[in-house]
Amino acid sequence: MNKVLLISFGEIFLKGKNRPFFLKKLKKLIVIAASCDETALVELSDNRFYIRDFSEQNLSKIIERVKKVFGVHSMSVALETSKDLASIEIACIEAAKEPAKNMPTFKVDTKRADKNYSMKSMEISAHLGGVLLDKFQQLKVDIHNPSFTVYVEVRQENAYIYCERIMGPGGMPVGSSGRAMLLLSGGIDSPVAAYMLAKRGLEIEAVHFFSPPYTSERAKQKVIDLAKIASEYCGPIKLHIVPFTKVQEEIYEKCHHELLTVIMRRFMMKIAENIAQMNKCSALATGESLGQVASQTLESLYATNSYVDMLVLRPLVCLDKLEIISIAEKINTYETSIQPFEDCCTVFTPRHPVTKPKIENLEKNEAKLDVEGLVKSALEETYTIECLPESK
């Protein structure tokens, strides 16, 4: 009898002709998650991933990491045994031993992947229920509301027995939907956007604009820290850092102040679009949410959107702040996001920003700037940092 980590994936989206592609991506991510144990082996067969040969003290670490792999539906620490009924009985007794100590009722839930097995699922459950009742005299069966369940999966090669199912994050394997360039600030929203995009299978690269000396080294470090935390879910994130001071100063000097924020955002989008194209990303993404601030009205979003050709994804557009915060807490970015460091957007905030900018007004103001030159020099000064989870 072996102890294995049995992993099931969201089978609905894994149907059809993309299946081998999805599974290859998913396997790679699970292998990375299991790499914290030198001897652990990941195998895909018969609709499940199996992690074997790990050392016991690394098991909870592996589980914590697999819990962050999108595409994983659930996992269980299972006893692996041969499919003869006597072996399954022994494994069931072993699996139920601990929960039977302090839980009064149970049921057996059997699934047969091997439809040629000599007994039907219901018969197997009934038989094993009887075996467990004999062994643990204080236990009772409760089909509808058991205090624990003994799961039995009779698969093609072996049978698997476990009592606990640990939920994975769901979603689709990172990289299976393509790659997007996320505008990442040090705020609460954009790291949550990273998580949501990754959940739908997008690989993320990020671009951050900073404006020394108006914004500090510490503010930039905060963004790097956020990218590292997000990378636990998203995989390694290439973070492109763009010095933005010159652009902001030019806009401040030459443009109408109530348009500062929108024009600055248009530059951010334009520069991000260039970096996205250079890095083969098929979409831009932001953490914008409709109506949150003056720059996030429909008119302002249109003004930034229409300045670029690339598709712009806004995964938070219809969430309210409390919903966003609760995701930020779940993915552990919140505490870092609320550290009080300045962002380049807040440094040059106009006192009375327009909420409904007119495109012709923006264009009239931008005509006073050397847009191409400013974009080009920002791109020349951009540098890239690879962000990985801290523990790796």
Interaction site with ligand ATP (CB under 6 A): 183-185, 187-190, 207-209, 268, 286-288, 292-293, 295, 343-345
Q: Which does 366 bind (CB under 5 to 8 A by kind): Mg ion, ligand ATP, none?
A: none
Residue 10's binding partner out of Mg ion, ligand ATP, none, with CB under 5 to 8 Å set by partner kind:
none
Residue 333 binds to Mg ion (criterion: CB under 5 A): no
Query: Among the residues of the chain, which ranges form H helices?
Result: 19-34, 59-66, 85-102, 121-135, 189-199, 217-234, 245-254, 260-278, 298-305, 321-330, 334-337, 344-347, 359-366, 371-380
Q: Which does 208 bind (CB under 5 to 8 A by kind): ligand ATP, Mg ion, none?
A: ligand ATP
Q: Quick one: 66 or 184, whose CB is closer to ligand ATP? A: 184
Pick 155 or 208: Cβ nearer ligand ATP = 208
Q: Decide: 111 and 121 in contact? Cβ < 8 Å.
A: yes
As a whole number of Å, the CA-based R_g of the chain is: 27
3-state DSSP call for residue 392?
A: coil
Partners of residue 359 on adjacent β-strands = none
Measured from the CB atom, is 48 or 208 closer to ligand ATP?
208
What amino acid is encoded at 215 in this protein? T
Contact 315, 290 (CB under 8 A): no
- Does position 187 interact with Mg ion (CB under 5 A)? The reply is yes
Q: How far is the CB of 239 from ligand ATP (least distance, A)?
A: 10
How many residues in the shown chain lie near Mg ion by CB under 5 A? 2
Within 10 angstroms of residue 131's Cβ, the number of other Cβ atoms is 17
Number of Cα atoms under 13 Å in the Cβ half of residue 145: 0
Chain residue at closest Cβ approach to Mg ion: 187
Can you tell me which of 185, 245, 295, 300 binds Mg ion, judged by CB under 5 A?
185
Q: With respect to ligand ATP, which residue has the nearer C-beta, 60 or 332?
A: 332
The entry of ligand ATP, Mg ion, none near residue 158 (CB within 5 to 8 angstroms by kind) is none
- Decide: 250 and 44 in contact? Cβ < 8 Å: no
Stretch that binds Mg ion, among 6-14, 184-192, 359-367, 374-382 (CB under 5 A): 184-192
Triad 83, 87, 89: Cα angle to 5°? 110
Q: Least Å distance between CB 314 and Mg ion?
A: 14
Peptide bond into 213 cis (omega under 30): yes
Nearer to ligand ATP, 87 or 292 (CB): 292
Residues 6+ apart with CB under 8 A from 39: 53, 54, 55
Q: Which does 202 bind (CB under 5 to 8 A by kind): ligand ATP, Mg ion, none?
A: none
* Residue 192: CB minimum distance to Mg ion, A: 12
Closer to ligand ATP by Cβ: residue 75 or 229: 229
Q: Tell me whether residue 110 or residue 261 sits nearer to ligand ATP (CB atom).
A: 261
For residue 389, the minimal CB distance to ligand ATP (Å) is 21
Through-space distance between the first and last CA atoms of the chain, rounded to whole angstroms: 32
Binding flag, residue 389, Mg ion (CB under 5 A):
no
- Rounded distance between C-alpha atoms, residue 178 and residue 200, angstroms: 10
How far apart CA 227 and CA 385 sit, in angstroms, is 10
| For ligand ATP, the closer CB: 89 or 189 | 189
CB of 223 to Mg ion, least distance (A): 11
* Shortest distance, position 388 Cβ to Mg ion, whole Å: 24
Spatial contact of 388 and 228, defined as CB atoms under 8 Å apart:
yes
Nearest residue to ligand ATP by CB is 187
Instruction: Specify the DSSP class assigned to residue 170.
Output: -
Which residues of the shown chain bind Mg ion in the complex (CB under 5 A)?
A: 185, 187
